[in-house]
Structure 1
Amino acid sequence: MLLLLLPSLLLLLGSGPGSGEASRTLHVHRRGILELAGTVGCVGPRTPIAYMKYGCFCGLGGHGQPRDAIDWCCHRHDCCYTRAEEAGCSPKTERYSWQCVNQSVLCGETPAPPCHPPRVFPGYPGIGR
């Protein structure tokens, strides 16, 4: 039994952030606010820091009309977090499953408690390059 588990454990240990293009193609991650950087890395080459003061909604706070597709993505993210908090969830600290498939972030598919996707987070569009 242990011999059957060993390859799976090695795959999990070797497929963390920064382990190459293969992990960016199809890999299941867990994420709270600390893992948000991983989703940004999934969809484009820019670092999360590049978006800290981008447009009206990327980074802290948010106001006005989103300026472009990237800013709309940040706006959607903010709205999702607000909906989750209104539902009694803690999206900034709770972790949930997501996948990086062809540079697109897909939320978890398995049935889960009300605070888990797809009930609260409908999925995120890719961020432009």
Structure 2
Amino acid sequence: MYQNFYEFGFKLGAKPGEPGYKGIKHYIFSNSMQFVSNDEVVLIQEDTLGFIEDLKKQEEGKIWLCGGGELAGSLLENKLIDQLVLKVNPILVGEGISLFGSRKPSLNLGLVDSKQYSNGVIKSTYDIHY
């Protein structure tokens, strides 16, 4: 089962089926959540890899994965992630969720862009070379 980043928003007052980001279609991958899908938020409970493979063929533009280390690791193993965008915040928390869950990939990355913000955040974008 994938840990679901979407559920974190419930602690902040969001409700199941509501988009976290307005104007962006959401696909929520969860085996434990229950809500009715709508035009903005679609719940996917099975065949995650097949769904994402099909989505990549059908959709134009970018598909963003937010949260979910186990899901990200699975997608990476199946070569379904093309680019990695990392934000480094100037805060040390001591522990947290692994970027790729239980997987420990060895990646060949090519830097595409890097930007430093006035608040100390650094955002780096990398192409993944399989």
TM interval, shorter chain, is under 0.3
- TM-score w.r.t. the length of structure 1 is 0.24
Q: Which has the higher strand share?
A: 2
RCO comparison, higher one (Cα < 8 Å, 6+): 1
> Which of the pair is proportionally richer in helix?
1
